Structure formats: C-alpha cells, structure tokens
C-alpha cells in the first residue's frame, strides 16, 4: 500500500507526498484514512466508557440525594422546567420528554424552556438572550417546582440568570456542567444551585454523552424514589 506516510519515509515527499489527491494514480490514502477513522472510533468508545466510570464514582451517591429531592417536589405537586443552549437545548428537551412521557413509569410534569420559538425569539429580540430562561421562569414557576439546566462549559449567562431567578422563587435547582464546572461552580453560585453535577472532561462531545447518562439515571432514580415514598393507594 502506497500511503502518504511511506512516500515521506523513503524520501519521495514533495508535492506528490503532500497532495496525493492531485495524483489519482498514487492510491492508498483513503485506506490509510479509513484505518485512522476506525482507530479513532475505538478510542472514543473507550474514552466515554472510562468517563462514565469516573462519573459513577464521583456522582452516584449525589444522584440518589438529588433524585430524592426531586421526587419530594414532584410528590408535592411540583413541576420541572429544563433549559440549555445548542446541543444542550436538545438534552433539555430530552429530559423534559423523558419525565413527561416515559415509555414506562409515572409521567411527571416537565416543560422545556427552549421549545416555544415565539417566546424564545421575542425575549431575545426585545430584551436579550441572557434573560431568555429567567423571564420564562418568572412567569411560569412556583415555589416547589424544579429548575434543571444543562451546559457543557458551565459558562452560559442565561443559565446563571435562570438559576438566580429559580433560587429567588424557591425552586429546587439542578445543574449539569462540564470541564471544571465554569461559572456554575464558582463561589457566587454556591447558595444558588442545590445539586451540581460536573463531568470532568474537556471534550464537549464526551461531556454531552456522559450528561445523557446522568439525566437518564436521575430519571430512573427519581421513579424509584417516588415509588418508595408514595403511600399505596395514592
């Protein structure tokens, strides 16, 4: 197989070695790239498995405590509001639909704050993107509800604003972040966020994948906690 790498090692690099696509006859490069792609895929699979193991060690006990708090709120009639930006907005939607319309288990009231495009664009256009979740919480939320926000960086201003609003209204606050937690892990937020789950990774992709596991496990544990705490016949 005449790969670009070999072309370099035997001293024949130069234009053809550098730009093999200019030379249709040189062949081989695609196979080289495919082999690299296969190796890269296996590496990513191993990375996320290892990250999930770390997350379990760091957060298993804390997820149980969070699920117990959330079950208590749901049992008392609380609702959950979820939010995030970009890919995390799709996770916020997944969290809401997982709780609201599960295939099995007890359906619970959950609403994602990114789904109403009219509200999101109106608030962004008229006031600013930083208030896009906080203003919705101000209108919709009651004491006893739950606010759950997801961010990979932990640095989104509209999440910080939403959590402050939620705290001032007596909501239970749950945050998922990556890297080292960003702004959400800073001292000013200590009294604002009740349960913060930081995924210790610097890859946005691996953070999102591990966050998916965290909120699925949180859903499952909340269902268990609700079953345990709900008296028979209610």
Partner 1 sequence: MGVTSTARTAVDEAFCRRDAAGARLAEEAERIATACQEMAERFRRGGKLIVFGSGGAGTDASHVAVEFMHPVIMGKRALPSIALSNDAATVTGVSGRDGPAEAFAHQVRRFAEPVDMALGISPDGDCPAVLRGLEAAHELGLYTLALTGGDGGAVARSPAVAQALVADSRDPAVVKEIHVTVYHVLWELVHVFHARAGAACVTCADEARPAQVMRELGDGMALVDLGGTHEHVSVALVDAGVGDTVLVHAKEAIAVTRKAGADGDR
Q: Which residues bind partner 1 (CB under 8 A)?
A: 4-5, 8, 13, 17-22, 29-30, 32-34, 36-46, 48-49, 52-53, 56, 60-61, 63-64, 67-68, 71, 86-87, 89-91, 93-94, 97-98, 101, 103, 202, 204-205, 208-209, 212-213, 216-217, 219-221, 224-225, 227-229
Among candidates 77, 144, 150, 142, which has minimal Cα distance to 112?
A: 150
Q: How far is the CB of 85 from partner 1 (least distance, A)?
A: 10
Based on C-alpha coordinates, what's the Rg of the chain? 23
Q: How far is the CB of 145 from partner 1 (least distance, A)?
A: 21
Phi-psi region of 102 (alpha: psi -120 to 50; beta: other; left: phi over 0): beta
Q: How far apart are the first and last CA of the chain?
A: 70
Q: How far is the CB of 163 from partner 1 (least distance, A)?
A: 22
Q: How far is the CB of 192 from partner 1 (least distance, A)?
A: 25
| C-beta of 87 vs 109, nearer to partner 1 | 87
Residue 148 pairs in a beta bridge with 82, 174
| C-beta of 54 vs 142, nearer to partner 1 | 54
| C-beta of 104 vs 190, nearer to partner 1 | 104
CA 222, chain centre distance (Å): 18
Q: How far is the CB of 144 from partner 1 (least distance, A)?
A: 19
Q: What are phi and psi of 111, to 5 degrees?
A: -135, 135
SS3 199: coil
Residue pair 152/87 in contact by the 8 Å Cβ criterion: yes
| C-beta of 101 vs 127, nearer to partner 1 | 101
| C-beta of 93 vs 158, nearer to partner 1 | 93
Query: CA 62, CA 197: separation in Å to the nearest integer?
Result: 8
């Amino acid at each position: 197989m005449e790969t670009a790498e070999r072309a370099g090692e035997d001293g024949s690099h130069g234009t053809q070695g550098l730009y093999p696509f200019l030379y249709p006859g040189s062949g081989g490069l695609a196979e080289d790239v495919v082999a690299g792609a296969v190796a890269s895929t296996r590496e990513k699979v191993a990375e996320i498995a290892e990250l999930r193991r770390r997350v379990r060690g760091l957060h298993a006990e804390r997820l149980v405590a969070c699920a117990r708090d959330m079950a208590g709120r749901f049992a008392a009639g609380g609702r959950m509001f979820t939010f995030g930006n970009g890919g995390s907005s799709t996770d916020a939607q997944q969290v809401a639909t997982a709780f609201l319309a599960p295939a099995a288990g007890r359906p619970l009231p959950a609403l994602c704050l990114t789904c109403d495009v009219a509200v999101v664009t109106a608030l962004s256009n008229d006031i600013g993107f930083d208030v896009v979740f906080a203003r919705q919480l101000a209108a919709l939320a009651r004491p006893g509800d739950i606010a759950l926000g997801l961010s990979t960086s932990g640095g989104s201003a509209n999440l910080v604003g939403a959590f402050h609003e939620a705290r001032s209204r007596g909501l239970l606050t749950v945050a998922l972040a990556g890297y080292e937690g960003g702004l959400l892990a800073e001292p000013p937020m200590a009294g604002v966020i009740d349960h913060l789950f930081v995924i210790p990774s610097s890859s946005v992709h691996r953070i999102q994948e591990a966050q998916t596991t965290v909120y699925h496990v949180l859903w499952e544990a909340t269902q268990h906690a609700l079953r345990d705490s709900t008296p028979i016949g209610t």
